[in-house]
C-alpha cells in the first residue's frame, strides 16, 4: 500500500528547531530489508571509540555544558507527584550552580526538555512557563505500548492538548519481532498524525528487539513513518541505551538524511549516568553524524542522574578539587 | 578559545599525552646507547641519531654495530644457549612470565617511547602494540612450560639472528624473542635503525627480569648490521621487512643450513560484497589502511568492492575520510600520526604522484613528516599502484562483479599475506576465505592479531608463521642428527636389454610423455647388465610437468576421504605387484631379496600412513580473545617439486609424494637419479589407481641439471630435496625468485616423522570469524 506523505502544513517548528521537519516518506521495504548490522564489527567500533577521541580541560567543560542543554530531564515513576515535577522543572531551568557558570564565563543554560507522564504535563508546562523549555510526555501506553491503539492515539492528543510539545511514543515491539513492517509503519504514521505540531520521538525499546539488524530496520521504518527523533529505550527494559545500539540507529538516520535530506534527531535513554559516558556519546555523534547534530533539536539524552555527575565534574574543572554530590541542588 | 566559544563550535581540543617520563628516561641514559651484549652495555658512540619523526628532534644517539660487535653478540648467545636450553621449561616460563609482567608494569613508558620514536598515534601504541607485546610473552611463557610434554620430538635451533622492522618495533621484537626463548634458543637481534629505543628499553627489562646474560643480545645499526647478523654464525635467521631484502636474505643463506623465516610485504585485498554492513566495512577500512599510517605489512590496501554498491561505498568512504584527524601522534585524539621518516614520506608522495587514478585526499596533512589519508579510485588491476606495496596511508580500489571475480582479482598479486572479506552471508564468506591466497583471512574484520593465532604469508609475502603452535616450528628442529649422504653413482655396463624393447617415459599430466630433448640413457645393474633406457628430462619437460600440475586443481578441492581412498588404492595396486617391484629394486641396486622386499613393504606402509592422515591432520580453532573463531586451517601448499632420495628407488619416491598428495598438493617428482626405473614402473600403478592426471608427475634425469629450473619456476610453490646430489644451495638460491618454500637436506639424511612431512606439505591459514547477533 502506497501511503501519502504528511502535509507540509504540519512541519512547524519548536523554538529549538532550525530546519524543516521531516514529513516521513513512503514505506520502502527494499531499503528496510537491505539494512545490515554486523554486531561484532559494531561492537569493536563502539569499544575503541573512547580511546580514539578524548576531550580535555576547557573543551571538556564546554562539552559537558552542551550535554546539559541536551538532557531530557526525566521523571517516570509510579510515585511521581506534582511537587516532585515542579522541583524537577526548577532544576531544569537552572541546572548548574551560578558561580560555576560564572567561573566558566557562561550565562545560565537550561536542559533540553522535561520528560514526564501524561498526568504531569500540565503541571510541568505551568512550572516551565517563560523558560522556553519544552515538556515531553511519554504517551501511548508507556512503557509496553500494549493498550488499544485508539486509546494510545487519544493519549497523544490529550498530552498535546495539555501543552506537551514533544511526545515520546513507544512502538509495538511485536510488529518488529514478527517482521510486520507495514503495521509498524502504519502505527507510527497514525501517531505522528495524532501528534500534530508536537514533535514525535519514537522509542524503539531496542533491548527487546532481538538483534541489531532489527534495530536498524525499525529505525528506518519509524523515520519513514514520520518520527522526528528516534530513541533507544523507555528506561524500563533490562538493557537500555548502549553504544552499539546507538551506532546502528545513528547510521540509519544518517542514511535517512542522505536519501531524503531530512535530519532526524537521536535520543539514547537509560543507563547514561556518568559525565564520561556523555562525552563518549557526543564524540560518537560528532564522528558519525557531524557537529550539526550536537544540538538540542537533533540530540537528547534521556537521563535522570547524569546531570548530577556532570555538575560534579564541572565544579572539579573550576576548582581543581573533586566535588561532592550534596554541593549541587537536587532536581 | 574560551568555554563559551567551544560551547558553540564543539571542536576537539588538544589532548596531549605527556612525554615527560619517557624523555626523562632518555636523559637518565645520557641520551646515547651502546649495544646490549652478554648482559652488559657497550660503550656508546654517536654513529647515528634516532629522531622523533613528528618533530624532527633528536631523541638519542645510537651506535652502529661493527663486525666485532656482532661477533661478540653471537659468541655471547652461543655461550649462553646450552645452559638456557637445559633449564627446565618451567624455569624458562618464569623468565618469560616476568618479561610479560615487566612490559605491563612499564606499559605507558613503552607506549610513549614507541610513539616518540616511530610517530604512530599514542592510541595505537597504548591500546594495541604494547598489550599485544605482553600477551605474546604470556602466551609463550606457557609454551616454555609445555615444551617438554607437548613437543617431545623437538629441540631448540641454537642461536637465532633476528632482524625486524620499524613499523611495530617492540611488537615485532616480542614476536621474535618470545617463541625463540620459550623453545630454548638464544637471540641476537637488531631493531630497525629508525626505531631502536623500545628495544633498548626492553634490554633493561631483561636485566630487571634477571635473564641470564647472553640469552638476549641487542645490537643497533642499519641494514649493513642486519647483513652481518645474517652472515654470522647463527643457526636461524628470522626477518620481517621488505620482500626485496627478504629475497636477498634467502640468497645469502642459501645452502648454509640456517633455518629461515621471512615475513615480508603485502598488497592485501579488502573485499566488500553487496550484502555487507557497509558502514562497518568502512570502519574496518579505517583500521585496515589508516592504522599506523598504512605502514603495515598486512594493511588492507587493495579495496575490491562489488559493482552494485561501489558508488555508495565510495561516497560513504570519502565522507568518513573527512573525519580522520591527522597530527601530533602524542595527542590522544589523533587517528593518523607521523610517517616514520621523511624518506618514507617522500617515497609515498612520489608513488601517488605517478598514479593515473582519481586521487582523493579530503584531509590536509600538517607540515612535516605527515602524509594525508588517500583514496585512489578508477584503477585497473594492471596499474602499478594496484600491484605494488605502497606502505603508506594510501588505499587503491576497483570493482568486481561476482564472487568468482572477487577471488580472481584478490589473488592477482605476487603477495599473499592477508585478506578481508565482508559479507553478512556466512555461505559466501566461508566459501571465499579458503580460496584466497593469503596466510590470514579476516571475515568481517581486519588487522586482528593474537599470540595464539599464526600470522604469516604465502607467495612473496614470505614463509613461516609467528604465533600459535605452528609458530614454534620456526624455532625448533627435530631431535637427533642427520647422517651424511654418500653420493651414489649410477652403475655402468654395456650391451642391450633382453626381450622386446621397452621404453620408460616421463609421466606428465597423467600421460606417458617422451622427453622433449629426445635424449635417453641406459640404466645398468650393478653387474653391468642393461636394464632399460630412461628419458632425460630437460627444462621444457619441467615446464610441461608444472603446467600439468597447475591444472590439476581439482585434487586440492577433493575431499580428504576421497584423497585417502585414492592413496589406499595406490597401495593396493602396488601390493599386487610387490614381487615385481622387489625384483626391480634388486636388479637396480643389487639389494638382497629381503631388503628389496622390505623397501616395497615400507613404501606400502607409507601410503597407508598418509592415506590415514589425509582426513586426520586436523585444523584447529584457536582460543583467541574474541567472540568468534580463529581457525588454523591446514591447506595444501600447491605445486611441490621433489628431488627424490637416491638410495631407495621406490620408497624415496613414495615417502615424499604420499604426504604431499594426501594433503592435496600436486607434485612434480624427479625420480632417484641412479636407479630411476622403479619410479617409471610406478606410473603404471598410478595409472590404474584413479589418481587424476597431473597430480603426480614423474621426471627422470640429472638432479643437478634440473634443480635450478624446477626451483626457479615461478609457478612452483615449494621444492623439497632429498637427493644425494648437492642441490641445497642452488635450490634455495633459485627459490628466492618467487620466495617459494624450500625443504632441503643440506647433504644430510634424516628420518622424518609423519608430522614433519605433514607440516611441510601444508600451509596454515588463519581465518578469523568474529560473530554475534
HEC sequence for B414-482: CCCCEEEEECCCHHHHHHHHHHCCCCEEEECCCCCCCCCCCECCCHHHEECCECHHHHHHHHEEECCCC
* Residues B416 and B367 both lie in one domain: yes
* Residues B428 and B561 both lie in one domain: no
Q: Which residues pair with B260 in a beta bridge?
A: B237
Q: Supply the pLDDT for residue B528.
A: 95
Q: Is residue B651 part of a domain?
A: yes
- pLDDT of residue A13 exceeding 50: no
By annotation, the residues of A acting in catalysis are 168, 231, 267
Domain-terminating residue out of B425, B456, B487: B456
Q: Is residue B69 part of a domain?
A: yes
Domain-terminating residue out of B394, B421, B456: B456
Handedness of CA B69, B72, B76, B77 (dihedral sign): positive
Mean pLDDT of B533-542: 97
Burial track B414-431 (b if 16+ CB lie within 10 A, e otherwise): bbbbbbbbbbbeeebbbe
Mean pLDDT of A4-20: 52
* Residues B665 and B687 both lie in one domain: yes
3-class DSSP string for B56-102: CCEEEEECCCCHHHHHHHHHHHHHHHHHHHHCCHHHHHHHHHHHHHH
Query: pTM for the whole thing?
Result: 0.96
Mutate to test the interface with A, among B2, B3, B312, B327 (most CBs of A within 10 A): B3
**Burial of A23 per CB tally in 10 Å (0-12, 13-18, 19+):** middle
Q: How far apart are CA B259 and CA A92, in angstroms?
A: 72
Q: Supply the pLDDT for residue A15.
A: 53
* Residues B308 and B247 both lie in one domain: no
Ordered by start, the domain boundaries in chain A are 29-320
Q: What total number of domains does chain B contain?
A: 3
* B172 CB-side CA count, 13 A: 25
**Contact status of A230 with chain B (Cβ, < 8 Å):** no
| Residue the block writes with cell 606502505 | B391
Coil/strand/helix, residue A135: strand
Burial track B325-356 (b if 16+ CB lie within 10 A, e otherwise): bbbbbbbbbbbbbbbbbeebbebbeebbeebe
**pLDDT tens-digit readout, A282-308:** 999 999 999 999 999 999 999 989 999
Per-chain mean pLDDT for chain A? 94
Q: How far apart are CA A299 and CA A319, in angstroms?
A: 29
With beta carbons under 8 A apart, name residues in chain A contacting B1.
Answer: 58
DSSP state of A138: E
Domain around B388: 269-456
Mean pLDDT of A142-146: 95
Chain-chain contact of B771 with A40 (C-beta, under 8 angstroms):
yes
What is the pLDDT confidence band of residue A10, given thresholds at 50, 70 and 90? very low
With beta carbons under 8 A apart, name residues in chain A contacting B772.
Answer: 39-40, 43
Bridge-based pairing of strands B762-770 and B440-443 is parallel
How many angstroms away from the CA of B319 is the closest CA of chain A? Answer: 10
**pLDDT tens-digit readout, B251-279:** 999 999 999 999 999 999 999 999 999 99
Q: How far apart are CA A4 and CA A190, in angstroms?
A: 12
Q: Is residue B313 part of a domain?
A: yes
* Residues B244 and B324 both lie in one domain: no
Burial track B217-255 (b if 16+ CB lie within 10 A, e otherwise): bbbbbeeebbbbbbbbebbbbbbbbebebbbbbbbbbbb
**Contact status of B156 with chain A (Cβ, < 8 Å):** no
Q: Which of B742, B500, B468 has its CA nearest to residue B622?
A: B468
Q: Supply the pLDDT for residue B500.
A: 82
- pLDDT of residue A4 exceeding 90: no
Residues comprising chain B, all counted: 773
With beta carbons under 8 A apart, name residues in chain A contacting B281.
Answer: 41
Q: Which of B273, B287, B242 has its CA nearest to residue B410?
A: B273
Domain A29-320 has CATH 3.30.70.260: no
CB B246 within 8 A of CB B280: no
CATH number at residue B726: 3.40.605.10
Q: Supply the pLDDT for residue B502.
A: 79
CB within 8 Å of B518: residues ≥ 6 apart = none
Domain-terminating residue out of B407, B437, B456: B456
| Residue the block writes with cell 633406457 | B533
Coil/strand/helix, residue B740: coil
* Residues B321 and B226 both lie in one domain: no
ipTM for this model: 0.95
Grid cell, residue B752, equals 622424518
Q: Which of A162, A238, A224, A219 has its CA nearest to residue A192?
A: A224
CB within 8 Å of B673: residues ≥ 6 apart = B488, B490, B646, B701, B702, B703, B723, B724, B725
What is the pLDDT confidence band of residue A12, given thresholds at 50, 70 and 90? very low
* Residues B360 and B403 both lie in one domain: yes
Give the number of other CB atoms < 10 A from CB of residue A257: 18
What is the percent of chain B with per-residue pLDDT over 70, rounded to a whole number? 100
Q: Is residue B314 part of a domain?
A: yes
Give the number of other CB atoms < 10 A from CB of residue B256: 17
Burial track A113-128 (b if 16+ CB lie within 10 A, e otherwise): bbbbbbebbbbbbebb
Cis status, amide bond into A77, omega within 30 of 0: no
* Residues B638 and B666 both lie in one domain: yes
Q: Supply the pLDDT for residue B496.
A: 86
* Residues B277 and B234 both lie in one domain: no
Grid cell, residue B734, equals 633459485
Q: How far apart are CA B465 and CA B443, in angstroms?
A: 20
Task: Show the CA angle centred on residue B357, arms to residues B355 and B361, nearest 5°.
Answer: 90
- pLDDT of residue B727 exceeding 80: yes
**Contact status of A105 with chain B (Cβ, < 8 Å):** yes
* Nearest CB neighbour to A54, from listed B7, B323, B332: B332
Q: How far apart are CA B548 and CA B311, in angstroms?
A: 41
* Residues B259 and B274 both lie in one domain: no
Give the number of other CB atoms < 10 A from CB of residue B204: 15
Mean pLDDT of A244-263: 98
Q: What is the dihedral of CA A14, A20, A25, A29, to 10 degrees?
A: -90
- pLDDT of residue B283 exceeding 80: yes
Q: Can you say how many angstroms the Cα of residue B399 is from the centroid of all Cα atoms in its chain?
A: 29
* Residues B246 and B383 both lie in one domain: no
**Helices B560-576 and B578-589, interaxial angle, to 10°?**
70
**Contact status of A38 with chain B (Cβ, < 8 Å):** yes
Per-chain mean pLDDT for chain B? 97
Grid cell, residue A60, equals 571538556
Q: Is residue B515 part of a domain?
A: no
Q: Is residue B618 part of a domain?
A: yes
Chain-chain contact of B13 with A57 (C-beta, under 8 angstroms):
yes
Give the number of other CB atoms < 10 A from CB of residue A276: 13
CATH number at residue B425: 3.40.309.10
CB B588 within 8 A of CB B677: yes
**Contact status of A70 with chain B (Cβ, < 8 Å):** no
CB B175 within 8 A of CB B191: no
CB A174 within 8 A of CB A201: no
Q: Is residue B508 part of a domain?
A: no
Chain-chain contact of A294 with B10 (C-beta, under 8 angstroms):
yes
CB B162 within 8 A of CB B187: yes
What is the pLDDT confidence band of residue A9, given thresholds at 50, 70 and 90? very low
Chain-chain contact of B10 with A54 (C-beta, under 8 angstroms):
no
Closest residue in B to A212 (Cα–Cα): B773
3-class DSSP string for B501-525: CCEECEEECCEEECCCCCCEEEEEC
* Residues B133 and B73 both lie in one domain: yes
- pLDDT of residue A92 exceeding 70: yes
**pLDDT tens-digit readout, B398-418:** 999 999 999 999 999 999 999
CB A140 within 8 A of CB A190: no
Q: What is the DSSP string of B293-323?
A: GG--TT-EEEEEEEHHHHHHHHHHHHHHHHT
Coil/strand/helix, residue B278: helix
- pLDDT of residue B486 exceeding 90: no
* Nearest CB neighbour to A104, from listed B3, B15, B422: B3
What is the pLDDT confidence band of residue A314, given thresholds at 50, 70 and 90? very high
**Contact status of A44 with chain B (Cβ, < 8 Å):** yes
With beta carbons under 8 A apart, name residues in chain B contacting A38.
Answer: 276-277, 280, 422, 424, 444
User: H/E element holding A160?
Assistant: helix A149-161
With beta carbons under 8 A apart, name residues in chain A contacting B9.
Answer: 291
Q: How far apart are CA B657 and CA A27, in angstroms?
A: 63
Q: Supply the pLDDT for residue B503.
A: 83
Q: Is residue B742 part of a domain?
A: yes
* A228 CB-side CA count, 13 A: 32
By annotation, the residues of B acting in catalysis are 263
Handedness of CA B607, B613, B614, B617 (dihedral sign): negative
Left (φ > 0), alpha (ψ -120 to 50) or beta: where does B52 sit? beta
**Contact status of A62 with chain B (Cβ, < 8 Å):** yes
**pLDDT tens-digit readout, A161-187:** 999 999 999 999 999 999 999 999 999
**Contact status of B424 with chain A (Cβ, < 8 Å):** yes
Give the number of other CB atoms < 10 A from CB of residue A6: 18
Task: Show the CA angle centred on residue B429, arms to residues B428 and B430, nearest 5°.
Answer: 95
CB B700 within 8 A of CB B506: yes
Amino acid at each position: 500500500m502506497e501511503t501519502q506523505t504528511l502535509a507540509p502544513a504540519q512541519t512547524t517548528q519548536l523554538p529549538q528547531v532550525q530546519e524543516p521537519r521531516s514529513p516521513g516518506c513512503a514505506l520502502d521495504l527494499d531499503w528496510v530489508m537491505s539494512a545490515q548490522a554486523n554486531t561484532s564489527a559494531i561492537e569493536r567500533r563502539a569499544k575503541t571509540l573512547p580511546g580514539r577521541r578524548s576531550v580535555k580541560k576547557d573543551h571538556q567543560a564546554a562539552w559537558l555544558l552542551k550535554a546539559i542543554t541536551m538532557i531530557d530531564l526525566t521523571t517516570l515513576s509510579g510515585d511521581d507527584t506534582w511537587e516532585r515535577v515542579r522541583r524537577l522543572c526548577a532544576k531544569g531551568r537552572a541546572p548548574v550552580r551560578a558561580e560555576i557558570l560564572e567561573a566558566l564565563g557562561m550565562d545560565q543554560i537550561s536542559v533540553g526538555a522535561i520528560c514526564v507522564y501524561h498526568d504531569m504535563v500540565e503541571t510541568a508546562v505551568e512550572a516551565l512557563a517563560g523558560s522556553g523549555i519544552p515538556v515531553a510526555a511519554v504517551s501511548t501506553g508507556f512503557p509496553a505500548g500494549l493498550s488499544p491503539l485508539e486509546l494510545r492515539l487519544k493519549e497523544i492528543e490529550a498530552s498535546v492538548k495539555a501543552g506537551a510539545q514533544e511526545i515520546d511514543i513507544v512502538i509495538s515491539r511485536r510488529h518488529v519481532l514478527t517482521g510486520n513492517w507495514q503495521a509498524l509503519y502504519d502505527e507510527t504514521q497514525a501517531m505522528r498524525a495524532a501528534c500534530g505540531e508536537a514533535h514525535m520521538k519514537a522509542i524503539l525499546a531496542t533491548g527487546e528487539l532481538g538483534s541489531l539488524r532489527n534495530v536498524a530496520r525499525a529505525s528506518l521504518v519509524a523515520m519513514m513513518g514520520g518520527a522526528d527523533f528516534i530513541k533507544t529505550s523507555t528506561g524500563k527494559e533490562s538493557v537500555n541505551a548502549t553504544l552499539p545500539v546507538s551506532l546502528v540507529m545513528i547510521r540509519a538516520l544518517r542514511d535517512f538524511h542522505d536519501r531524503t535530506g531530512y535530519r532526524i534527531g537521536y535520543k539514547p535513554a537509560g543507563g547514561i549516568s556518568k559525565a564520561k559516558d556523555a562525552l563518549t556519546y557526543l564524540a560518537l555523534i560528532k564522528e558519525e553524524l557531524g557537529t550539526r547534530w550536537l544540538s538540542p533539536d537533533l540530540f537528547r539524552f534521556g537521563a535522570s542522574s547524569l546531570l548530577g555527575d556532570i555538575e560534579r565534574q564541572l565544579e572539579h574543572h573550576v576548582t581543581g578539587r573533586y566535588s561532592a554530590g550534596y554541593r549541587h541542588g537536587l532536581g | 578559545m574560551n568555554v563559551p566559544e567551544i560551547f558553540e563550535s564543539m571542536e576537539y581540543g588538544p589532548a596531549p599525552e605527556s612525554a615527560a617520563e619517557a624523555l626523562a628516561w632518555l636523559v637518565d641514559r645520557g641520551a646515547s646507547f651502546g649495544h646490549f651484549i652478554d648482559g652488559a652495555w657497550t660503550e656508546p658512540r654517536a654513529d647515528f641519531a634516532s629522531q622523533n619523526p613528528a618533530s624532527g628532534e633528536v631523541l638519542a644517539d645510537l651506535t652502529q654495530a661493527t663486525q666485532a660487535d656482532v661477533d661478540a653478540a653471537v659468541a655471547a648467545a652461543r655461550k649462553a644457549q646450552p645452559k638456557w636450553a637445559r633449564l627446565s621449561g618451567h624455569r624458562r616460563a618464569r623468565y618469560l612470565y616476568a618479561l610479560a609482567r615487566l612490559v605491563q608494569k612499564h606499559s605507558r613508558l613503552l607506549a610513549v617511547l614507541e610513539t616518540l620514536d616511530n610517530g604512530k598515534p599514542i592510541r595505537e601504541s597504548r591500546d594495541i602494540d604494547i598489550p599485544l607485546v605482553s600477551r605474546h610473552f604470556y602466551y609463550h611463557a606457557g609454551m616454555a612450560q609445555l615444551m617438554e610434554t607437548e613437543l617431545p620430538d623437538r629441540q631448540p635451533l641454537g642461536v637465532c639472528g633476528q632482524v625486524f622492522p620499524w613499523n611495530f618495533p617492540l611488537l615485532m621484537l616480542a614476536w621474535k624473542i618470545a617463541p625463540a626463548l620459550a623453545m630454548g634458543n638464544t637471540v641476537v637481534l637488531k631493531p630497525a635503525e629508525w626505531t631502536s629505543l623500545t628495544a633498548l628499553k626492553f634490554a633493561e627489562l631483561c636485566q630487571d627480569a634477571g635473564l641470564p646474560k647472553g640469552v638476549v643480545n641487542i645490537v643497533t645499526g642499519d641494514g649493513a648490521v642486519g647483513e652481518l647478523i645474517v652472515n654470522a654464525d647463527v643457526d636461524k635467521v628470522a626477518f620481517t621487512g621488505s620482500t626485496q631484502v627478504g629475497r636477498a636474505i634467502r640468497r645469502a643463506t642459501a645452502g648454509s643450513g640456517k633455518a629461515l623465516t621471512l615475513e615480508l610485504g603485502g598488497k592485501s585485498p579488502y573485499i566488500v560484497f553487496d550484502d555487507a554492513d557497509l558502514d562497518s566495512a568502512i570502519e574496518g577500512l579505517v583500521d585496515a589502511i589508516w592504522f599506523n599510517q598504512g605502514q603495515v605489512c598486512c594493511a588492507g590496501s587493495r579495496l575490491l568492492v562489488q559493482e552494485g554498491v561501489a558508488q555508495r561505498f565510495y561516497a560513504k568512504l570519502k565522507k568518513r575520510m573527512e573525519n580522520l584527524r591527522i597530527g601530533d601522534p602524542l595527542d590522544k585524539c589523533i587517528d593518523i600520526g607521523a610517517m616514520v621518516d621523511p624518506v618514507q614520506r617522500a617515497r609515498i608522495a612520489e608513488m601517488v604522484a605517478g598514479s593515473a587514478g582519481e586521487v582523493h585526499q579530503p584531509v590536509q596533512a600538517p607540515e612535516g613528516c605527515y602524509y594525508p589519508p588517500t583514496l585512489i579510485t578508477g584503477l585497473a588491476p594492471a596499474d602499478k599502484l594496484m600491484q605494488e606495496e605502497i606502505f603508506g596511508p594510501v588505499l587503491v580500489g576497483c570493482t568486481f562483479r561476482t564472487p568468482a571475480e572477487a577471488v580472481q582479482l584478490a589473488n592477482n598479486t605476487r603477495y599473499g599475506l592477508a585478506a578481508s572479506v565482508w559479507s553478512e552471508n556466512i555461505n559466501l564468506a566461508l566459501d571465499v576465505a579458503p580460496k584466497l591466497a593469503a596466510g590470514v583471512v579476516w571475515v568481517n574484520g581486519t588487522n586482528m592479531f593474537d599470540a595464539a593465532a599464526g600470522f604469516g604469508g604465502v607467495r612473496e609475502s614470505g614463509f613461516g608463521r609467528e604465533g600459535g603452535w605452528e609458530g614454534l616450528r620456526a624455532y625448533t628442529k627435530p631431535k637427533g642428527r642427520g647422517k651424511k649422504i654418500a653420493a651414489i653413482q649410477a652403475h655402468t655396463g654395456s650391451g642391450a636389454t633382453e626381450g622386446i624393447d621397452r621404453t620408460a617415459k616421463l609421466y606428465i599430466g597423467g600421460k606417458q610423455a617422451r622427453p622433449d630433448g629426445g635424449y635417453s640413457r641406459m640404466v645398468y645393474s650393478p653387474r653391468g647388465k642393461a636394464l632399460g633406457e630412461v628419458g632425460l628430462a630437460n627444462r621444457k619437460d619441467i615446464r610441461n610437468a608444472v603446467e600439468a600440475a597447475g591444472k590439476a586443481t581439482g585434487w586440492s578441492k577433493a575431499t580428504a576421504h576421497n584423497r585417502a581412498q585414492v592413496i589406499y588404492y595406490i597401495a593396493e595396486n602396488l601390493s599386487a605387484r610387490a614381487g615385481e617391484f622387489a625384483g626391480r629394486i634388486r636388479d637396480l641396486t643389487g639389494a638382497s631379496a629381503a631388503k628389496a622386499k622390505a623397501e616395497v613393504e615400507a613404501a606400502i606402509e607409507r601410503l597407508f600412513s598418509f592415506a590415514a592422515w589425509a582426513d586426520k591432520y586436523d585444523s584447529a580453532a584457536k582460543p583467541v580473545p574474541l567472540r568468534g573463531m580463529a581457525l588454523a586451517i591446514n591447506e595444501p601448499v600447491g605445486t611441490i617439486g621433489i628431488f627424490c632420495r637416491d638410495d631407495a628407488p621406490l620408497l624415496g619416491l613414495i615417502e615424499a609424494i604420499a604426504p604431499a598428495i594426501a594433503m592435496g598438493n600436486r607434485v612434480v617428482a624427479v625420480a632417484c637419479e641412479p636407479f630411476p626405473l622403479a619410479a617409471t614402473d610406478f606410473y603404471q600403478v598410478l595409472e590404474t589407481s584413479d589418481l587424476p592426471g597431473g597430480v603426480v608427475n614423474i621426471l627422470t634425469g640429472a638432479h643437478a641439471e634440473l634443480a635450478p629450473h624446477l626451483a626457479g619456476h615461478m609457478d612452483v610453490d615449494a621444492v623439497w630435496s632429498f637427493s644425494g646430489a648437492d642441490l641445497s644451495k642452488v635450490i634455495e638460491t633459485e627459490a628466492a625468485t618467487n620466495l617459494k618454500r624450500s625443504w632441503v637436506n643440506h647433504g644430510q639424511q634424516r628420518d622424518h616423522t609423519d608430522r614433519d612431512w605433514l607440516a611441510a606439505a601444508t600451509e596454515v591459514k588463519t581465518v578469523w570469524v568474529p560473530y554475534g547477533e
